[in-house]
Amino acid sequence: MPPLAISAAPSVVPDAQGVAVPSPTRASWLVIAFGFVVALLTLAASGIGIAVMSVGPLAFLAATLVGVQFHYTRNRPDPRIAATCGILAVLIAACLLAAIISHTSLRFGSPHIDSALSAADLALGIRAPAIVLAFADYPAFSALLSVIYSSAMPVCIVLGLALAVLGHEAKAWEFGFCFTFCLVLAAIVSIGFPALGSTVYHGIEGVAGLPSDAGNFHMATVDYYRNDPAAIFDLAKVQGIVTFPSFHMVMALLVPYALRGTGLPGWIATVWAVLVTISSVVIGGHYVVDLLGGAMTWAGSAWWIGRASR
């Protein structure tokens, strides 16, 4: 089957009701543009500078990829190369912008919402600390959960690239949009509604049977950006600090959904997703309501971009 030119896909398409909806590609870049503005505002308002030697190379790589995407879209059409470079650029930009927004906004000193999140869990009849303590009885499995938790972001980036490289451009851009939208949204929500996480809030750090940094790996980073007057944004001092909504839950849903209908890979992705979900509480220190928030965020993005794909 001959490749289709990328230009054949309109930037804006009507949905079933005739409402104009941006294509996944265009929508992804609109989210990046909005995130860029928010990142600039948080940097300016926080007074935190940027370690250019740390951030510069990654920003340069993203910009270069955008240039290559443009070349293979307009000058020498090759949908596969254009999609591969575009997806990688979008994922890099989303991660960088979300990190800037969530970390520098800690300087604003917004009150933590842990009490509200904990109360929401109790209203659901669930206690996240009880889940954590239950898994502490199985140290080998908890160690596996730590590895699974750390694998979520690399798996998503590799999958996004694989979809593009293998010629599934439409699915790759749907994946890229959902990833970008949910990550940037989670970072923006954290500006006004930060939280330390269930493990720290309930004082169960360092429980025997769990990795030593389970649930509290981010605390030094939070203290640095929130309280150090000399703090600058440095990629070496970046951690997953957003509690609500859980982006790990988003990633746990993104991967199996992108691999739906693929047989064995889809089933493997589903098992992986279940483990990521569990690890988000045990290793990531999330409240259960964080996971529900992440699931709703993903579902909303998937529904919205699905309108442009029909």
pLDDT, tens only, 142-160 = 999 999 999 999 999 999 9
Whole-number percent of the chain with pLDDT over 70: 92
How do residues 84-103 score in pLDDT, each as one tens digit?
999 999 999 999 999 999 99
> Rg of the chain's alpha carbons, rounded to an integer?
20
Q: Is residue 6 part of a domain?
A: no
| pLDDT (average), residues 163-180 | 95
Q: Is residue 5 part of a domain?
A: no
| pLDDT (average), residues 196-224 | 93
Mean per-residue pLDDT of the chain: 91
Give the pLDDT band (50/70/90) at residue 310. Answer: low
Residue pair 155/70 in contact by the 8 Å Cβ criterion: no
Q: What is the pLDDT of residue 308?
A: 65
- CA 57, 58, 63, 66: dihedral to nearest 10 degrees? 140
> Dihedral sign, CA of 137, 141, 147, 149?
negative
Res. 202: pLDDT tops 90: yes
Q: What is the pLDDT of residue 49?
A: 94
Res. 19: pLDDT tops 50: no
Q: Is residue 15 part of a domain?
A: no
Query: HSE of 198 in the Cβ direction (CA atoms, 13 Å)?
Result: 29
- Residue 12's beta-bridge partner residues? 22
Q: Is residue 8 part of a domain?
A: no
| pLDDT (average), residues 263-277 | 97
Q: What is the domain count for the chain?
A: 1
Q: Is residue 13 part of a domain?
A: no
Domain that holds residue 62: 21-309
Query: HSE of 248 in the Cβ direction (CA atoms, 13 Å)?
Result: 32
Res. 3: pLDDT tops 50: no
Q: Is residue 12 part of a domain?
A: no
Q: Is residue 98 part of a domain?
A: yes
Q: Answer yes or no: pTM beyond 0.85.
A: yes
| pLDDT (average), residues 220-226 | 96
Of the listed ranges 22-31, 105-114, 121-130, 271-280, the least confidently predicted one is: 22-31
Q: Is residue 2 part of a domain?
A: no
Q: What is the pLDDT of residue 305?
A: 84
Res. 10: pLDDT tops 60: no
